[in-house]
Amino acid sequence: MFWIYVIIIATLLIALVELYIFISAGEYMWCIIHNQIPFVASSKYLRRAVVTEIQRHFPHATSVVDIGSGYGGLARHIAKNCDMTVVALENMPFTIMIARIMNFITRSRVKIIKCDAFEYLKSSPHFNIGVAYLGPNVNPRLKEYTKQFDVIITLDVPIEKLKPTRVIDVGHGCTHYGRHKFPHKLFVYDFTK
C-alpha cells in the first residue's frame, strides 16, 4: 500500500512540473509574439549588487519599484535587506501567481501589482528608485519615465542614449538576449545630481 501512495504522489508531482513547463512555454511564446522580453530570473549576484548599491548610495530612499518583476526574487531580496516600500510590477498571469505564492511562503512584504508596467508608471506616484531587468528592446522606453524616479538602476543593459552616473561590473555571469551576450552589470542613473 505504501508504494501505491509513493507512485501516486510521484505521478502528481511529475504532472505539476509538466503543467508548469507548458504554461511557462505559453507565456514565453506570448512574449515573443508581442515583442516583449520573456521573463529572465535575476541571479543572486545581481540581487546582491542591487541591494549593495541601494544600501551604499541611497540609504534614505523609502520606495522602490521593480519594473517587470517576474517571480519577484529581486523585489523580495530588496524588501528583506532594505527598509523601504517595495512594489513589483508584472503583467504575465502565471508569473504573477508564482510570485504571490513565493511572497506568501517567504512572508515577504512586497506589493505585487498585475499590470503593464509602463501604463502603471504613467499615473503612478513618485518612487525613489526604479529597478529594471528588461532587455535591449524594452529599456529605451524607460527614458520617458525618468521624472517618476530619483534613480533608475538597470540590470545588464543600459538605457539607450542616456548616460549612466556609474556602471558597476558585477563580475559573475551574463544574460543572453537573442544572439547577444550581456555581462552582469548595473547601470545607475541618478537624476538627483
As a three-state string, the secondary structure of the chain is CHHHHHHHHHHHHHHHHHHHHHHHHHHHHHHHHCCCCCCCCCCHHHHHHHHHHHHHHCCCCCEEEEECCCCCHHHHHHHHHCCCEEEEEECCHHHHHHHHHHHHHHCCCCEEEECCHHHHHHCCCCEEEEEECCCCCCHHHHHHHHHHEEEEEEECCCCCCCCCCEEEEEEEEEEEECCEEEEEEEEEEECCC
Answer whether 0.75 is exceeded by the pTM. Answer: yes
Q: Which pLDDT score is estimated for 140?
A: 86
Please state the φ and ψ torsions of residue 20, each to the nearest 5 degrees: -60, -45
Q: Which pLDDT score is estimated for 74?
A: 95
Q: Taking the CA atoms of 66, 157, 182 and 51 in sequence, report the sign of the dihedral they define.
A: negative
Q: Which pLDDT score is estimated for 51?
A: 96
Strands 166-177 and 180-190: antiparallel
Distance between CA atoms of residues 121 and 41, nearest Å: 22
Q: Which pLDDT score is estimated for 165?
A: 95
Q: Which pLDDT score is estimated for 131?
A: 96
Q: Which pLDDT score is estimated for 35?
A: 57
pLDDT tens, the chain, 193 aa long: 788 878 888 888 887 777 777 766 666 666 655 655 555 667 889 999 999 999 999 999 999 999 989 889 999 999 999 999 999 998 888 788 888 988 999 999 999 999 888 899 988 889 999 999 887 888 888 998 888 999 999 998 899 889 999 999 998 887 877 777 888 999 999 998 7
Q: Which CATH number fits domain 44-190: 3.40.50.300, 3.40.640.10, 3.40.50.150, 3.20.20.240?
A: 3.40.50.150
- Within 8 A by CB and 6+ apart from 193, the residues are 165
Largest CA distance in the chain: 70
Sorted by where each begins, the domain ranges of the chain are 1-35, 44-190
CA angle, 77 as apex, 168 and 51 as ends, to 5°?
30
Residue 129, class by beta-carbon neighbours within 10 Å (0-12 exposed, 13-18 middle, 19+ buried)?
buried
Q: Which pLDDT score is estimated for 160?
A: 87
Given a contact cutoff of 8 angstroms between Cβ atoms, the answer to whether 77 and 43 are in contact is no
